[in-house]
Structures are given as structure tokens and as C-alpha cells.
Structure 1
């Protein structure tokens, strides 16, 4: 008999199934499922064999029953999704900035706004797909270990010969939601920028469109293979990347004196936006590591976003290549 989907009469069968499980376990006829395998309820109030839990459920550690995900996303999980959603947006904005900023001001502004609109629309539609109530809240199964992201590598062999295939999205929906977001971002980018390029611009607009297309295979491959690793290290990746790019932005100023650097950083709207964006990214990374519910505690760590800029201003004289030319001649 086909197993019953966990969302159908699950709550009506839960108590009966758990009592049945306790009885069978007490009699020694039923054991806990190995690995990430679980059991689901059948229409006749019996339990299935150990198998992969259906999407949106996870095997309970106490009785191996596949239970629906009930926990709301934690602030850290939300930050991880924000990090993954920001990757294509940052790339889009960077490519548009490199191509259009000095070429055509109107096109530059329109394309930047288009990229922001695409990202916002993709996020809202993705949330609508995965929401569990009218407040756009998502429930997830938790992600406690790196192995939770790679259940395909943890299929058990109860008899040491045959593999029991229990591959599933243990961390639902943290894995699938990113794929949906990237697909919607790609679709909206093709629609919005394709129409805009046809109406307003010549071949230069194709560079921005093609640059955006190139990133998605890379992002999808990185997420498919490294999602679990990124989940645990993304705050540090954000801090390192923002610090390095902040130093690069300062180093592009021609005259490397304290006054000229400060003048170059804050003398134009574009440069101010870049500096503030680096501060936001740094604050985001620090907050993901030291998240506190108290506003006072958050304000205490806020000044840390200035650290990379201050370090550069203090040490740039020591890293001027001209000071070391004599040692290599």
C-alpha cells in the first residue's frame, strides 16, 4: 500500500501511530531507522519501512517518524538566505557600474533600479512559494550539522551490503529555496533587461545582460556543492570580502595621502555609496556572528564596521611599493 503523504491526516494519525510504535518497539519487532531514514503513517494506521522522508518532513530522533517541519527560520538562517540572495545582486550592480557609469548616466540609473527590482520581486515570489501562513513566514527542519546538507553521502547500509537510499532535503527549505530564487532572478532578468535593451540601448546593453547570464551557472554549481559549507562560514566570507574590496577601493585613489584618500572616498555620491555598502556588508557579517536581541548590544558592535578603513588609513604608508624599490634593484 502506498504511504500516506505526511500532510494528509497527519495530526489525526500521530497519536495512534506513536502508540503503535511504542508497542512494537517494546515487543522488539521495530527498531529506529538508521541515518536520515524515517517511517511514515499508512492509511491503516501502520508504519512503513525505513525510507526517505517526504519533502518538508524530517525523521524524529526519538521514534524515526517523519514529522513536518515546525520551527520558524532563525535569524541566522534568514541572514544566510539574505547572503545567498545578495550574491547575484552585488554581481549585477558591479557589472552595470563598470559598463555604464561613465558611458550613459540615464542607462546606468535605469539598469541599477532594474537589478534592485528584479531581486526584490524574486524574493517576494519565492517567499510566496514557501510561506506557511499569511505573514510570509517559512518553517524549516533545522540545520545543526554539516552532514544535514549532504544526506546523499550518508545513506546507511544496515546489512553492510545493500544501501538504503534515504537522500532528502534534511534542511528544508534552505537548499531548495535558493534554487527557486536563482531561477526567478534569471527569468526576471531576461524579461526586464531584454525589454529595456530593446527599447533604449544599443549593443552595450548586451554586455550587462550577458555578464548577468554568466554568473548563474557558477552560482548554481557553488550552491549545489558548497551550500552546507557556506551556511556555516558565510559571515566570515562576508567580512573578508568586504574588507578586501574596501582596501581595493581605497587603493584606486591616485594620490595616496590621508587627505586625498578621505577626499576621494567622500567627495562624490558614487564613492559614498560604495563606502556605505562596504560598511553594511561588514555590519551584516559581524551581526551574523554576534547576533543579539538587544539593540544596545548591536550598537556596541556597530563601530567595528569602520575597522578596515581605519586600518588602511593607518598602514597605507607602510605598504607603498615605492618605499621598497631600492631593496629589489
Structure 2
């Protein structure tokens, strides 16, 4: 059917089928479609791959983790307070509702599944830089979402997160008499920042998010333990087992690490190493705590 189509310049320019049965001139493909090997624009009807779902899961987790971080910073309590639990639950509802709505708004409409165009290479995320200019005469503007819907769905999701926060958070705060202005103000900064990062680095994040998950988990784990006043092995171990807040925070770090390892699709036996960063810190804290070195220096 497409064998007679003339070649289009560039790698993202194609021809669209018109209502009269003829083909358009070379140009940008309509949203939700992508050029095939015969330079015809074909609708995106592939099922989203597991790796792409995991990527969307990672992008979904980022606002929730940021919400929880700033809520915890504002609480300044060693244990979970009523205010912190309510605001965290509200943040979870906001991002969960935003994720569901963002999925429903994409093709196929009002279904919890997604039609997609397969991601083939890094340049698919940056079609803006691949508009052809044959013989430096006529420029073809073929910028499109070649990885539909992985770019727009995240932008829609971040917008819905912000909208839900403005609607849900004040209602819950007034109904349950909880005040939490600082976390909301923080969201007004980090949500636009996440949007900017996604708009510029989405392709790089797509290929590196498993490693980012692992790095974020290990760094957060080390920072969490380093903030403890008592840096002895016994105190760190007991707080990791009996302190409910510590158990929850460490569990989140472990889940993030497990998520990153699972996304790599190497050997799932590596999941056995999930507790290793915590155990490594506890077992080696005596060699890294500055207090230990000061005691040794005083004895000399």
C-alpha cells in the first residue's frame, strides 16, 4: 500500500492519508501517529512496554517523594504526628488521582491502558533538533511526539498534581484542622522544576531512571543514617528495627532500590542485596564517624 510513496527528507517527516484517499506532502505527522519505514504516518497502536510503564512509574513517584520529604521537613518530629500522617495521605491521594486521570485522558480515552509508539532510540525524544533542510533551501518542520504518549502524559500528570493539590489539600486541612502551608509552597517550586527537567531531559531520564533510582536510594539512605545523633552500631540497629518512623523511611529506601534493580532486567537475584546499603552503613559507621577519630586522637 505504501510502496509507491516517495521518500521524505529527514527521519521524522511523513505523509498523512487525506479524506479523499490521496496522500499529503511531506510534513509533520498528526499527534498520536508516527512515520513508518515507508514514510507514511501511522497511528500509534502499540501496547506500552513493561520498561515504559516502569518509566512512567518512576516519574509518578517523584512528586510523591518530594511531597513526603517537605512534609517531613515541616513536621520536625522524631515520630509520626497526626498532621504529618494526614498531609502524607492527602499527597498520596492527589498523585494517585492525577495518575489515573492522566491515563484516562490519553488514547484510548477513558480506559486504564495506553496506546503508544515504540521508543527506538534517544533521538525520538528530541525531534525538534532533526528538522531537515534539504540543500539549505526549504526547511521541513517535522517536530512531533515520536514517543507518544510518554512526553505529554507526564506533563499532564504534573499539571493534575498541582490542580489536585489546590483542590484537595485545602479541603482536608480545613475539615481535619491541619495547617501545612510550607509543603504547599514547596510544591509550587518543585512541580514546575520537575516539569522543566522532564521537558529538557526526558530522553536521558528514560534510559537512566533505573540507575537514578538506585543512586537516589543509596544517597537518601546514607543521609538518613548520618542525621542520627547517636552514631553507634547498636543505636542505629535498634532504631532501624523498633522506631516506626525509621522503619517506614528505610522501607521506602529499600523499595526504591528494589524498583531500580527490577527495572534493569538483569538478575532478580540481585534483589537480595536491597538491605546491603543499610547494613554496610551500620557495620562501617565506627570507621567513618568523626567522633571516633576525635576519641582516638585524644588518647594519643
With normalisation by structure 2, the TM-score equals: 0.91
Q: What runs of 5+ residues in structure 2 fail to find an aligned partner? A: none
Partner of 1:50: 26
Cα deviation 1:150-197 (Å, max 9, x = unaligned):
100110111223321000001100000001101111001011112233
Structure 1 residues 105, 269: closer, same or farther in 2, change over 3 A? same
CA drift at 1:93: 0.9
Partner of 2:13: 37
Higher relative contact order (CA 8 A, sep 6+): 2
Partner of 1:126: 102
With normalisation by structure 1, the TM-score equals: 0.84
* Pick aligned residue for 2:257 from 258, 263, 282: 282
Cα deviation 1:77-111 (Å, max 9, x = unaligned):
01111111111110111111221363993222211
Aligned: 1:167 with 2:167: no
Correspondences of 1:202-281 after superposition (within 5 Å):
204-281=179-256
CA drift at 1:200: 4.5
Cα deviation 1:15-59 (Å, max 9, x = unaligned):
4xx3xxx34x5xxxx224422000011223221111000001000
Partner of 1:302: 271
Partner of 1:193: 169
Quote the Cα distance in structure 2 between the aligned partners of 1:85 and 1:31.
Answer: 39
SS at match of 2:51: helix
CA drift at 1:144: 2.0
Quote the Cα distance in structure 2 between the aligned partners of 1:194 and 1:255.
Answer: 38
Contact 1:250 1:265 in 2 (8 A): no
Contact 1:38 1:52 in 2 (8 A): yes
CA drift at 1:60: 0.3
SS at match of 1:130: coil
Q: CA RMSD in A?
A: 2.1
Correspondences of 1:95-174 after superposition (within 5 Å):
95-100=70-75, 102=77, 105-132=81-108, 136-174=112-150
Partner of 1:3: none
CA drift at 1:258: 1.8
Equivalent residue pairs, number: 295
Is the radius of gyration larger for structure 1 or structure 2? 1
Contact 1:33 1:64 in 2 (8 A): no
Q: What runs of 5+ residues in structure 1 fail to find an aligned partner? A: 1-14, 292-296
SS at match of 1:94: helix
Q: Which moved more, 1:156-165 or 1:69-78?
A: 156-165
Quote the Cα distance in structure 1 between the aligned partners of 2:8 and 2:123.
Answer: 19
Aligned: 1:178 with 2:147: no
Cα deviation 1:289-320 (Å, max 9, x = unaligned):
126xxxxx63x222121121122123222222
Quote the Cα distance in structure 2 between the aligned partners of 1:86 and 1:314.
Answer: 30
CA drift at 1:244: 0.8
Q: Which moved more, 1:156-165 or 1:270-279?
A: 156-165
Q: 4+ residue stretches of structure 1 with deviation over 6 A? A: none
Quote the Cα distance in structure 1 between the aligned partners of 2:239 and 2:226.
Answer: 10
Contact 1:197 1:206 in 2 (8 A): no
